[in-house]
Structure 1
Amino acid sequence: MTSRLLPYATTPGRLLIQLFSDVVVAVWTFLWVLVGLAVHGAVATIAGVGQQFEQGANGVAESLASAGHSANRIPLVGDAVSKPLTAAGEAAVDIAGAGHDLNTTAGWLAYLLAVAVAAPPILAVAMPWLALRLRFFLHKRAVLTLYSSMAGQQLLALRALTNRPLSRLTAVSPDPAGAWRHADPGVIGGLAALELHSAGLARRPRRGPNR
């Protein structure tokens, strides 16, 4: 993959700043993902309690139902003994249902709270970083496209005359504006190179054909 397709500068200083920002965003995201996982784990513990509660209540309900059926076969008092056991078994089924609801609710709540805790701080940093990087990439492609033609270099040179400090302009030519008006290819290339450098791109001035 060529550097033209990468959202990174080619000048060492700006490239170092971009790499440092990448590391900061990556570490920030990693830390908040850990926080989100911790929140998920804490809430998921409640879901685990609900699941255990459900399983235990179902086991009790099955035992009471079995005992009720067995007691029903006792002569004379079987019906009187089996009714309380059956009622207790039904109550245990209701408790198991409550445990199931707790398990289900706490399960999706664990994911929801994890995202709610981790997403805002991650997006607060990642979105501006992504927007700035995308803006740089588009600007880089536009500058490189202009630099690839003599007419584009003239436009970049004009931008340099407008935007760059006077000391840098006179370092290219004692009369940069006059040289630009006379279409001096060497001066135009040097001014265009200033605009490249301001965009974070290190390129040698491309000279036009000698007149």
Structure 2
Amino acid sequence: MKFYSDFAAHRSRQITVDVLAVAFMAAWIWLGAFVYSLVLGLSDFGVQMEEAGAGFRETMTDVGENLGDVPFIGGGISAPFDSASSAGATLESAGQAQQDAVQNLATGLGVGIAVLPVLMILVFWLVPRLRFARRAGQAKALVSGGAGVDLLALRALSNQRLPVLAGVDADPMGAWRRGDPEVMRSLAALELRSTGVRLT
């Protein structure tokens, strides 16, 4: 495969577009990571809630267990603390659920912001670049393999637009049939130029 044109102006445009495409993709990826970390910061409240709930649950459980050891009345006194311990567990679960929700939101936003634009850039930049590289590689292989100028000229007759062909000769097909060497070389050069390969 041949990734860049032999012609300076075309090659400069290709390199400029490549650099811009990579820079834009990097910028979108950075923005996605920034939004992810920004949204993930909202989970701090959930962490605090979970820690407060866990601490409250442990304290109430310890108090309930200590009071439960009191003879005769321990079971009755520990019951409210056991209920309070359950409330702490609920608060702890709510804190964990809030963290999970924020994590999912941060991941969704971060990936959405980064991936969708990068996919669009790949579709509109990478696909045409790969198509160019494939065509240029095939054309270079034709030239390197000693393919005749007449074959390249025939490809030009089938691939190039009519106004472009008319600029080479008033009757390019007739010139090709006659084997006109100047027209054949011009058509071959035209076909190769469109693929970014210079006729040597």
**Is the shorter-chain TM-score for this pair beyond 0.5, marking a shared fold?**
yes
- The gaps in structure 1 that reach 5 residues or longer are 205-211
Alignment size in residue pairs:
195
Deviation, 1:125, is: 2.3
3-state SS of paired residue (2:3): coil
Q: Distance in 2 between matches of 1:105 and 1:203?
A: 62
What is aligned with 1:150? 147
User: Does the C-alpha gap of structure 1 residues 60 and 22 become closer, same or farther in structure 2, counting only changes over 3 Å?
Assistant: same
Q: Distance in 2 between matches of 1:34 and 1:150?
A: 48
What is aligned with 1:68? 64
What is aligned with 2:190? 194
Deviation, 1:178, is: 6.4
What is aligned with 1:10? 6
What is aligned with 1:116? 112
- The gaps in structure 2 that reach 5 residues or longer are none
3-state SS of paired residue (1:109): helix
Q: Distance in 2 between matches of 1:183 and 1:76?
A: 118
> 126, 130, 134: which one pairs with 2:126?
130
Identity %: 31
Q: Distance in 2 between matches of 1:166 and 1:30?
A: 45
- Over the aligned positions, Cα root-mean-square deviation in angstroms equals 2.7
State the TM-score, normalized to the length of structure 2: 0.81
Write the letter of the residue equivalent to 2:84. A
> 38, 48, 52: which one pairs with 1:52?
48
User: Does the C-alpha gap of structure 1 residues 38 and 158 become closer, same or farther in structure 2, counting only changes over 3 Å?
Assistant: same
1:82 aligns with 2:78: yes
Write the letter of the residue equivalent to 2:147. M
Write the letter of the residue equivalent to 1:156. L
What is aligned with 1:208? none
What is aligned with 1:40? 36
Q: CA deviation digits over 1:116-175, x for unaligned, max 9?
A: 222222222221112211221222123223333334x313213445643555x36xxx99
> 22, 29, 33: which one pairs with 2:25?
29
Write the letter of the residue equivalent to 1:60. F
Write the letter of the residue equivalent to 1:56. A
State the TM-score, normalized to the length of structure 1: 0.77
Greater relative CO (CA pairs within 8 A, separation 6+): 2
Deviation larger for 157-166 or 48-57 = 157-166
What is aligned with 2:177? 181
Write the letter of the residue equivalent to 2:38. A
